Structure 1
Amino acid sequence: MKRMNHLGAALRAWRDRLEPATVGLVYHAPRRVVGLRRGELAMLAGVSAEYVAQLEQGRAKTPSAQVCSALARALQLNDEEQAHLLRLAGHTANPDRIPRLIPISVRRVADQLSASPLAVYDAAWQLLHWNPLFAATWGDPCRASVEDRNAMITQFERRNARVRQTAAERVWFEQSLVADLRTTTGRYPNDPDVASLIDRLNRTARFRELWASPTVAAHESAHKTAVHPEIGEIALDANILPTQDSDLRVVVLTARPGTDARSKLDLLATIGVQEMALRSD
């Protein structure tokens, strides 16, 4: 309980220091509170405001590593603060566990690539961080629970209605994802989160079929077409950038050559910013 009280105090302090404009929340009237409101932090992290209140008051159960990552992303914590948050939540550094800390160097690179949809995943394809253009292109990840923000779960269970793949693209993409996950099981054979993910995915026939194959390989690239409700089809290439030591997957989506995707992304970036401002009024 004492550890959770320390966690709550840290969350409150980090929330109080973060200006709404820093995270893209624009207000046209004076505010009576310093920093972010609980509801605003909850919206950015994709959790409920009641859960944030329970965490800050030391009444909640220990948050999962995925929730900690979502809070760290929303609060824009640096490397040391992210590590501190994970320790307070009882997730000490362990070579048997998949790393989820996003180094500030990776965040700096991500900030410089704001003109492209970008997301950061861990080695089990759990979504840890995304930029506004990624959310505008594929839909806001915060609409899904933290546990469901996983590329494997999206592909094999839920399917994003905005993703269009040919039959051949889908087969290759799924084979590549599963081969990459098998690589992860070799690196982190004792990680319970990986085991839980595989148990869940094994409920789907397609995953079971692919998991029976012994193929081991890194997932490196893919072709995707986003179908936006207002802009239409956007032909994209998904490029996976390697990160040193952190074992993260930085996915940058670029306009497919010979298409009008670049102009559509530029338009979508403008629309996305306008919609965020409207939601904040």
Structure 2
Amino acid sequence: MHQTTPLGEFLRARREALKPQDVGLPEYGRRRVKGLRREEVAMLAGMSSDYYVRLEQGRESSPSPQVTEAVARALNLDEEATEHLHRLIQPPARRRDAANDQVSPQLRQLMDSWPASPAFVLGPALDILAANAMATALHEGFAAADNLARMVFCDPAGRAFYQDWERAAHSCVAELRAAYGHDPESPRINELADELCSASPAFAELWARHDVKSKTQEGKHLRHPRVGDLHIGFSAFTVNGAPHQQLVVYQAEPGSATAAAFERLRSSAARPKEMTLHRSDAT
């Protein structure tokens, strides 16, 4: 039995996701394999079937850049998936202490200076490393606002919070796969993936697809348990000095219903904790 490698797993998943018509090949009769055959990918990439089989089986791990580009074209990979393929072939240097990320005091102070905008810092495994008061109030319906992937797939609140749950789920797993490509040996990412594959069949199915996409600037449609529907824009920034961290900031269109809802969240987040607890105890 051949050793499985991150490269081989990615190639196999992307090959199985394609149909012959996706790459201009005729399809005759019933096919015994899922997706394309290995020899079909090899033909499209202009290489021998034996060489491509070695790539998938982990017996060849150092193809040239030209061969890598040929495989990417054969598999119809987009730009981000092609970059992911290159990283799997030549992984970057391991990030030290990636599992114990510390957010700088300056960044925490910056987030706290935005009283009207939820802001939080994500680690590579989508762990929420720090959050301002608005972000904490935004995610108050979750049992624990500690990891976005776990919140989406394992907390029942996730299905209600993310109005387009399917899109949120796909995006979440694709972002985690992108981070995995930067550090395939990351103990934290592998530990989380194993945990979620066991806990959520939906996560396991999406993880096996090997789709790759970093965080985009698309809007989000959320439903907060207290202030209702939220239609937000957001921005994600790489943190200087900690390039494995992302600063995420949610924004509401000025004068919109979401802006009004954010103001209600801000007011509740600004109340002293003692007053909030006292009121809850009294109800």
| TM-score for both structures, normalised by structure 2 | 0.56
| CA shift digits 1:60-80 (9 cap, x unpaired) | xxxxxxxxxxxxxxxxxxxxx
- The one-letter code of the counterpart of 1:170 is W
Q: Distance in 1 between matches of 2:269 and 2:254?
A: 23
Q: Distance in 1 between matches of 2:277 and 2:224?
A: 26
* Cα gap change, 1:258 to 1:111, in 2 (>3 Å): closer
The SS at the match of 2:157 is coil
* Cα gap change, 1:150 to 1:276, in 2 (>3 Å): same
How far residue 151 of structure 1 moved from its aligned partner, in angstroms, is 0.6
| CA shift digits 1:170-210 (9 cap, x unpaired) | 22222222111112212222222211101011122111211
Indicate if the aligned counterparts of 1:163 and 1:224 stay in contact, CA closer than 8 A. no
How far residue 269 of structure 1 moved from its aligned partner, in angstroms, is 1.2
| CA shift digits 1:125-160 (9 cap, x unpaired) | 11111111122222077x53xxx7211011011132
* Cα gap change, 1:217 to 1:234, in 2 (>3 Å): closer
* Cα gap change, 1:131 to 1:236, in 2 (>3 Å): same
Q: Distance in 1 between matches of 2:97 and 2:210?
A: 22
Q: Does 1:262 align with 2:263?
A: no
How far residue 94 of structure 1 moved from its aligned partner, in angstroms, is 5.6
Q: Does 1:138 align with 2:135?
A: no
* 1:67 counterpart residue number: none
* Cα gap change, 1:227 to 1:280, in 2 (>3 Å): closer
* 2:186 counterpart residue number: 191
Percent identity over the alignment is 21
| TM-score for both structures, normalised by structure 1 | 0.56
* 2:202 counterpart residue number: 206
Q: Distance in 2 between matches of 1:219 and 1:96?
A: 22
- The one-letter code of the counterpart of 2:204 is R
* 2:123 counterpart residue number: 122
- The one-letter code of the counterpart of 2:106 is S
* 2:11 counterpart residue number: none
Q: Which contiguous aligned blocks of 4+ residues in structure 1 show a shift greater than 4 angstroms?
A: none
How far residue 218 of structure 1 moved from its aligned partner, in angstroms, is 0.7
Indicate if the aligned counterparts of 2:115 and 2:266 stay in contact, CA closer than 8 A. no
Give the length in aligned residue pairs.
Answer: 182
Indicate if the aligned counterparts of 1:137 and 1:228 stay in contact, CA closer than 8 A. no
Indicate if the aligned counterparts of 1:120 and 1:127 stay in contact, CA closer than 8 A. yes
Q: Distance in 2 between matches of 1:102 and 1:129?
A: 7
Name which of 173, 176, 180 aligns with 2:171.
Answer: 176
| CA shift digits 1:14-43 (9 cap, x unpaired) | xxxxxxxxxxxxxxxxxxxxxxxxxxxxxx
Indicate if the aligned counterparts of 2:133 and 2:269 stay in contact, CA closer than 8 A. yes
Q: Which has the higher contact order (CA 8 A, sep 6+)?
A: 1
* 2:110 counterpart residue number: 109
- The one-letter code of the counterpart of 1:182 is R
* Cα gap change, 1:134 to 1:140, in 2 (>3 Å): farther
Indicate if the aligned counterparts of 1:224 and 1:236 stay in contact, CA closer than 8 A. yes
Indicate if the aligned counterparts of 1:162 and 1:227 stay in contact, CA closer than 8 A. no
Q: Alpha carbon RMSD of aligned pairs, Å?
A: 2.8
Q: Distance in 1 between matches of 2:277 and 2:254?
A: 36
Indicate if the aligned counterparts of 2:221 and 2:229 stay in contact, CA closer than 8 A. no
The equivalences for 1:56-71 within 5 A come to: none
- The one-letter code of the counterpart of 1:118 is A
Q: Which structure 2 residue ranges, 5 or more long, are not aligned?
A: 1-93, 279-283
How far residue 244 of structure 1 moved from its aligned partner, in angstroms, is 2.6
| CA shift digits 1:202-242 (9 cap, x unpaired) | 1221112111223222112341323232x333332333222
